[in-house]
Amino acid sequence: MNACPNYRLLPWLFLRAPFYSYAAYDLGRMPEVLARAEFRNAVFLASPVFYGLLERKGFDWDRLSEKERHTLRKYYNRMAFRPTPFGSFSTFTLVEWGEGDRVKLAADSGVRLHLQPDEGLRQGGTGTAAIAAAGELLRVNPMLYRLGGHYRYIRSVYGPSGKCCFFLDSVEADPFYNNIFRWFANAPVAAEKVVCWMMRQSGCTELEAADHLSFLIREQLLYASGRGSVTGGQFIAMGPPGFWERAALANLPDPYSLPALSAELSGSLSSDSGFFYAAAERPLISGGPPEIDRADLERAVRLLQRLASPGIPDALRQFKEAFRARFDRQKVPLLLAVDPDAGIAYENMAGTAGRGDTLQGVRFPHVRQRGAALPWTGLHRLLLDHWKNGGRDAYAPVELTEEGLEAAGLQPATDIGFANTVAILFRQCAEGILLEQSGGPAGAALTGRFSVFSEASASLCREIAALECAANPDVLFADIALFSDKHVDNINRRKHIYPYEIPLNVFSASAGEAQLPPGDLLISLLGDELVLESARLGKRVVPRLASAYNYKNNELGLFRLLCDVQYQGLNAGLSLDPERVFPGMAFYPRICFGRVILSAAKWRFKAADLLPLFDGKEQAVDRFRKKHHLPRWVSTGSYDQQLVFDLSDRRDAAFFLDCAAGLKEMTLLEYLSPVKEVTAGHRPLAAQYIGFLYHERSVYKPLEAWRPKTERAVKRVFPPGSDWLYLKLYCTPLTADRILGEVIGPLLEKSADLIICWFFIRYTDPGYHLRLRFKVKKRDGGKMLADLCDALAKTGHDRLVHALQADTYNRELERYGARLIERVEQVFWRGSELVLKSLLSAGRGNGPSEFDIAFATALDMVFIMAGREWAAGFAGEVSDRFLAEYKADKALRISLDGKYRQLQAGLHEVLGARRADEDLMGALRQIAGAAARNADGRRQLTADLVHMQLNRTFSTEGRKQELVVWYCLSKYLRSLKARQRD
């Protein structure tokens, strides 16, 4: 195994700070704060409606209701403590690591306010027009694809709340649509040219052609360039001439009033959410955080790497399992793969029921929801040993050490993927360095939205993305572009960060060669990874979302799939939250590693816990603090909802009570005091930094690493009427076994002169069925099919068969390679014959059980393919993969051990009495001699061949039964190896 990659912090930092100084924060000065221009501008950007209410009351504090005052207190609090940029409540600055000199930022008069049109305003303008303007270009909807005799496509429509809703529609694939979509395939076309083409094709008038073109745009079969995109950084300059040029000169205090600017637009435009999307930039004068902080953070990150565990989004794991069952190793167009009829609707899959005696008593764990606690690990031991040590103060910080990690058995991670770039959020505090957040699949996600405000920010994001590309030169990184929500898409807006783009419901501004629309993408299962590739460029594609947008709120399954694929194979959470390890506790102590605070102290209160705060007594907050060991400063909420309270201050305590009133639960964090290392005009700010971790090791395998080297071309596709007859026979598992024994067996004897070889497999998607493949002489498939139908009728099984379908046999060349495919088919043939014999023996009541046959056959196959010397290690690897797939907990492992003990005596008896099937073993020896010398390829081939044989052997619950076989096989081979050593 390779050593864990060594992260280093890049020289660049992104500083975020509240506009006001925390040192001057005083709720007693609210009338004075309300009179300030910069505060009024910030409130206007946050809520034009609320600003209008204040304006009608003359911004007179005494005329405001208590509810209105409470809202203003929250705004003021955020403007003094919350670093997360939102409108002009906080600012951003680009800095670099330095010698530890105080970071000096420009005074308030130097703050630059970047103004752009609000996304709701843009969507209310020409971007949604159904009529193409003169000179506009048109493209085909990127989510359009052909399925049978129709074109299907996904439309997006804004609902009443501003959120995008998505609908799957279709049109018939007639000559008109065939021609126009073929014309648009490679480049956009001017609207005028399309009108002229329609007139020539149909003889219609110009008005009729323009009307039909409007229909195509309105139905979203075509997109007009005025539709725009969330990427590219361009926007349509709506409003009076020169307006946005004047708006670009605005600073946060004076000379410009944002309400006055807004009034210039209100005469010609309307918006329910305001006209502006804004961010404030405070220029750097000098300074940078010290290198010692940089070194301490890098050491802390190395510790977090040791605590890391791999994870995959639940929806992606389920989709991968369904894809394996539906398509196996086929390479499928992405849009077909997620089609609800032809493929698998993402995050909308149902399980398959089954039965099997082997599984009785084996306790599979319930699927955990995302965010659930991990199984008991070394991390649990580590925290428990430090936290619950009887000799320590329960509320004191927990100090982690290298020695403690060693004692808990936490070794450096070697088999977990770590993203090439990762963003970390940290603050300098009096108590040390607070690491507030770290992780994600890519480092540019948190800063991507600032790229539209500042060219320096855009360059920073591109530099980070370029490092990721350089570490994986044979992979195409592509930003996902999608309109999601009129309001949320403000933070989704960004310039082009990555070299490529996957446009969904947008009109991409990227150059044509940089666009990778969904129709160009193929998806396949390579090894244990779902891999996307560009059909046009023949390279692997890795999606990226260079935005902090929470994509789980989106309804488009295709988009969620692309976003989830970002996390595949990565440990994307380099952070330590003790609540995830030990959920449900009322208190979690601060956790430190040297000077770095990995997790601030946390208290969780239920409604009943909060009741003493409201007993009407003056000292209620003080008593509450003392009872729960709360510090003076606490915070609640996170990101743009964060509020900070000084519980020792009378006004702040009252504000805290107002915020806590009526809550069913409340989480408080200790608020660690900022150091006075970041100042603006000599006023200290509660600043937060975003740093960027980087390692240069390649993370993503290129397609070439999976492609088998073929020595000769072989035929892949065999339609009905060719050399292979491929039938799908839908029935119950019990009927399937009876048909194999009572129909297929006799038919094979009768038709021996027609059949060269044959094999079958069992499938459960879209319903339980047998897949039968017969290689016939002289293309006698028609006669073979007629004989089968006749045999089904004569035995009465035709009434038990739900459907019988002929299909095209596509050889799995991606899985087995052209060089081996014919030998693999020989193995399948001999394996099918073996199962057929066992079914006939079972019918006579004198045969071994399914499990005995499966175990003995798998053992023989592993010995031949992997070799006796390596068999135990190989079986252990496969068993571990199955255990990981089923998220094996303690109960499952104990029940599997019990199952092995139960079966052990019988296995020895079966292995002692049985004789290996020489036909199957002979076919395996031939393929073993010709198989790849590459160890990984040979192991995968062995696992695949055993999997297919076990699929044939077990009538139901094949995947779970395969786990039991591999687990028992691993235990048996380890014990055999130990006995041989003795």
Q: How confident is the model at residue 730 (pLDDT cuts 50, 70, 90)?
A: very high
Residue 413 has pLDDT above 90, yes or no: no
| Cβ proximity of 932 and 708 under 8 Å | yes
Do residues 803 and 714 touch, judged by C-beta distance below 8 A? Answer: no
User: pLDDT digits over 316-342, tens only?
Assistant: 998 998 898 788 778 899 999 999 888
Q: Once rounded to an integer, what is the mean pLDDT over residues 212-232?
A: 92
pLDDT, greater one: 902 or 630: 630
Query: What CA–CA distances, in Å, run from 317 to 13, 137, 311, 350?
Result: 35, 40, 10, 13
Burial environment of residue 41 by CB neighbours within 10 A (0 to 12, 13 to 18, 19 or more): buried
786: CB partners within 8 A, 6+ apart:
none
Q: How many angstroms separate the CA atoms of 22 and 174, rounded?
A: 67
Band (pLDDT 50/70/90 cuts) for residue 133 is low
Give the angle subtended at the CA of 51 by the CAs of 48 and 57, to the nearest 5°: 150
Cβ–Cβ under 8 Å, residues 896 and 786: no
Distance of CA 346 to the CA centre of its chain: 12
Q: Which residue has the tokens 């409130």?
A: 43
Six token digits for residue 146: 């052909």
| Per-residue buried b or exposed e for 399-421, using 16+ beta carbons within 10 Å of the residue's own CB | ebeeebbeebebeebeeebbbbb
Torsion sign across C-alpha atoms 900, 906, 912, 916: negative
Question: Token pair 């405001």 is at which residue?
Answer: 64
For the chain, percent of residues with pLDDT exceeding 70 = 90
Task: Judge whether 549 and 560 are in contact, CB under 8 Å.
Answer: no
Given pLDDT bands bounded at 50, 70 and 90, which one contains residue 71?
very high
User: What's the rounded Cα separation, in Å, for the pair 92 and 494?
Assistant: 16
Confidence tier at 255 by pLDDT (50, 70, 90): very low
Length of the chain: 982
pLDDT band (50, 70, 90) for residue 487: confident
For residue 371, is pLDDT > 80? no
- Provide the 10 A C-beta neighbour count for residue 263: 11
Cα–Cα distance measured from residue 335 to residue 152, given in angstroms and rounded to the nearest whole number: 9
- What percent of the chain is predicted at pLDDT more than 90? 59
| 685, burial (CB in 10 Å: exposed 0-12, middle 13-18, buried 19+) | buried
Pairwise CA distance, residues 798 & 796, whole Å: 5
Kindly indicate the confidence band of residue 813, based on its pLDDT and cuts at 50, 70 and 90. Answer: confident
| Whether residue 710 has pLDDT greater than 60 | no
User: For 114-137, what is the mean pLDDT?
Assistant: 69
The interaxial angle of helices 850-866 and 918-930, nearest 10 deg, is 30
Residue 121 has pLDDT above 80, yes or no: no
Supply 87's token pair: 């409108």
Query: Given this model, what pLDDT does residue 160 score?
Result: 84
Q: How far apart are CA 790 and CA 218, in angstroms?
A: 54
- CA 598-604-607 angle, to 5 degrees, is 165
Tokens coding 12: 């660049």
Confidence of residue 131 (pLDDT cuts 50, 70, 90): low
Which pLDDT does position 250 carry in this prediction? 62
Q: Which residue has the tokens 């510090």?
A: 631
Cα 531 from Cα 474, distance rounded (Å): 13
Whole-number average pLDDT of the chain: 87
CB under 8 Å to 534, separation ≥6 — which residues?
A: 476, 516, 520, 521, 522, 541
Question: What CATH number has the domain spanning 712-811?
Answer: 3.30.70.360
Which pLDDT score, from 0 to 100, does residue 423 have?
96
Quickly count: other Cβ atoms within 10 Å of residue 207's Cβ.
9
Tokens found for residue 555? 């309804």
CA 664 to chain centre: 31
Strand stretches in 578-629, DSSP E: 587-588, 591-593, 596-599, 602-606
Enter the DSSP assignment of 916. -
Taking the mean position of all CA atoms in its chain, how far away is CA 914? 48
Distance of CA 314 to the CA centre of its chain: 9
Q: Looking at residue 739, what is its pLDDT?
A: 94
Question: Considering only 188-192, 366-370, 723-727, 742-746, which range has the smallest mean pLDDT?
Answer: 366-370
Mean pLDDT confidence for 640-660: 93
Give pLDDT tens digits for 852-900. 899 999 999 999 988 888 888 999 999 988 888 887 888 889 999 999 9
pLDDT in tens, 529-555: 999 999 999 999 999 999 988 888 898
Residue 355 in this model has a pLDDT that exceeds 60:
no
Q: How confident is the model at residue 760, as a pLDDT?
A: 96
Cα dihedral 86/88/89/90 (nearest 10): 80
Side chain identity at residue 208, one-letter code: E
The arithmetic mean of pLDDT across residues 451-455, rounded, is: 93
**Highest mean pLDDT: which of 244-258, 301-315, 963-977?**
963-977
Give me the pLDDT at residue 572, please: 78
Distance of alpha carbon 291 from alpha carbon 294, whole angstroms: 5
For strand 540-544 and strand 529-534, is the pairing parallel, antiparallel, or unpaired? antiparallel
The pLDDT confidence band at residue 142, using thresholds 50, 70 and 90, is very high
DSSP H helices, 374-475, are 378-387, 402-407, 455-471
Enumerate the domain spans of the chain: 126-227, 579-679, 712-811, 842-982
What is this structure's pTM? 0.79
Whole-angstrom Cα distance, residue 269 to residue 265?
Answer: 6
3-state secondary structure 816-850: HCCCCHHHHHHHHHHHHHHHHHHHHHHHCCCCCCH
Please name every residue paired with 825 in a beta bridge, in sequence order, or none if there are none: none
Nearest to residue 494, comparing CAs of 280, 235, 231? 231
Residue 274 phi, psi dihedral angles, 5° rounding: 95, 170
273 CB-near residues (< 8 Å, 6+ apart): 48, 118, 120, 121, 162, 486, 487
Give, for 655, the enclosing helix (H) or strand (E): helix 650-660
| 557-580: average pLDDT | 90
Looking at residue 286, its pLDDT comes to: 95
pLDDT for position 372: 44
Distances (CA, A) of 577 to 296, 435, 436: 19, 11, 10
Q: Report residue 801 as tokens.
A: 């068969």
Look at residue 935 and tell me whether its pLDDT is greater than 90. Answer: no
Residues whose CB is less than 8 angstroms from the CB of residue 489 and which lie 6 or more positions away in sequence, other chains included:
119, 230, 483
Contact status, residue 855 vs residue 907, Cβ threshold 8 Å: yes
Helix (H) or strand (E) holding 683: strand 683-684
Q: For the residues of 464-513, what is the DSSP string, one character each?
A: HHHHHHHHSTTEEEEEEE---BTTTHHHH-B---SSEEEESSS---S-GG
Q: Are 794 and 784 in contact (CB under 8 A)?
A: no
Evaluate whether 656 touches 621 at the Cβ level (below 8 Å): yes
Q: Which two tokens stand for residue 270?
A: 């309307």
The CA distance from 785 to 726, in Å, is: 10
Provide the pLDDT confidence category of residue 370 given band limits of 50, 70 and 90. very low
Question: Which of 969, 958, 948, 951 lies closest to 855, judged by CA?
Answer: 969
Tokens 């304006």 found at: 55
- Inter-residue contact 963 to 883 (CB < 8 Å): yes
